[in-house]
A and B are shown apart, each in its own frame.
Chain A
Amino acid sequence: VTEVPVARFRASQGGVTARFGAAQARIVRDLVSQVAELLGADPETAEDHPGADTPPVPDGPGPSDGQVLEAAFGLTDATEAPRDPVLARLLPDAYRDDPEAAGEFRRYTELSLRDGKVAAARTVLGTLPARGGRIRLSQPDAEAWLRALNDVRLALGVRLGVTDDFEEVGNGINPADPRAAYVWVYHWLAYLQESLVEALS
């Protein structure tokens, strides 16, 4: 039996460094890709073509002039929180009891928020080889990693039904539940994230 130590970050000159086992690298890449796709990144281009960020073309009639203008200014039609609970957590309402103000805020900010999260996910995918190994991150890349890791941990937390108490994560999940394997992943991501914060501070 070969035991691979779980990856964690340490400070190094001008940035941070960590060693990932292949399985750990695959888990991080897989989860980060899933979150990027959920946020609207094209699955074909999410991994290997940073910058290829054209929005999907809808079927049927093309966008109206109004929609083209809105897109040019980074506005969206969306004024309601996404139905998917993970997306609703990643792109939350900014007003609790004022749907109109929340909708207006969303219209002006959601697109750039999505783009920022997808860009952070691409940074992770671009700096973490699928085979794992030792990686070195510059300070800006490390900060993108922090945001992307946090988004993945939040997404997992929603799917695992995490509430207030960190220690209780997974307590309500039957070992036969397919989600059970991700309880460990959730804790490891928290550990990885903490090591990255410490390495940066």
Chain B
Amino acid sequence: MLDVHHKGRAVVSSGARESMERDAETLHGFGLWATVSHDK
């Protein structure tokens, strides 16, 4: 969570795309700018 402080962003969730998108949508509902990205 210190990443949020230092970099302004942090990984808060990981998993399958569908559930990540659901999490992103929930966070958008709270005004948080969540993005989904694919780990290599």
Question: Cβ of B28: which chain A residues have Cβ within 8 Å of it?
Answer: 91-92, 94, 109, 113
Query: A interface, by DSSP: helix, strand, loop or mixed?
Result: helix
What is the chain B residue whose CB lies nearest that of A143?
A: B30
The 0/1 profile, CB within 8 Å of A marked 1, for residues 29-40 of chain B is: 111011111000
From the candidates A94, A117, A164, name the one contacting B34 in the complex (CB within 8 A).
A94
Residues of A within 8 A of B36 (CB): 94-95, 101, 105
Bound-state CA distance A59–B34 (Å) is: 35
| A154: B residues at CB distance < 8 A | 31
CB of A151, distance to nearest CB on chain B (Å): 6
The answer to whether residues A113 and B25 also contact, given A94-B36, A95-B36, A96-B37 and a CB cut-off of 8 A, is yes
Other-chain residue from A90, A93, A101 in contact with B31 (beta carbon distance below 8 A): A90
Interface size class of chain B, counting residues whose CB lies under 8 Å from the partner chain: 10 to 19
Cβ–Cβ < 8 Å partners of B21 in chain A: 94, 105, 109
In the complex, A90→B33 CA distance in Å? 8
What is the chain A residue whose CB lies nearest that of B38? A98
Q: Is B8 located at the chain interface by the 8 A CB criterion?
A: yes
Interchain CB contact under 8 A, B24 and A94: yes
Beta-carbon contact of B35 and A94 below 8 Å: yes
Q: What distance in Å separates the Cβ of A170 from its nearest Cβ neighbour in chain B?
A: 20
Q: Which residues of B contact A116 (CB under 8 A)?
A: 29
**Can you list 12 pairs linking A and B with CB atoms under 8 Å apart?**
A91-B28, A92-B34, A94-B21, A94-B35, A97-B37, A105-B21, A105-B24, A109-B25, A112-B25, A147-B29, A147-B31, A151-B31
What 7 new A-B contacts, CB under 8 Å, besides A95-B36, A113-B29?
A95-B37, A105-B25, A117-B29, A146-B30, A151-B31, A153-B31, A154-B31
Binding site for B on A (CB under 8 A): 89-97, 101, 105, 109, 112-113, 116-117, 146-147, 150-151, 153-154, 164
Which residues in B have some Cβ–Cβ distance to A below 8 Å?
8, 21, 24-25, 28-31, 33-37
Q: 6 nearest interchain CB pairs?
A: A150-B31, A94-B24, A92-B33, A109-B25, A96-B35, A154-B31
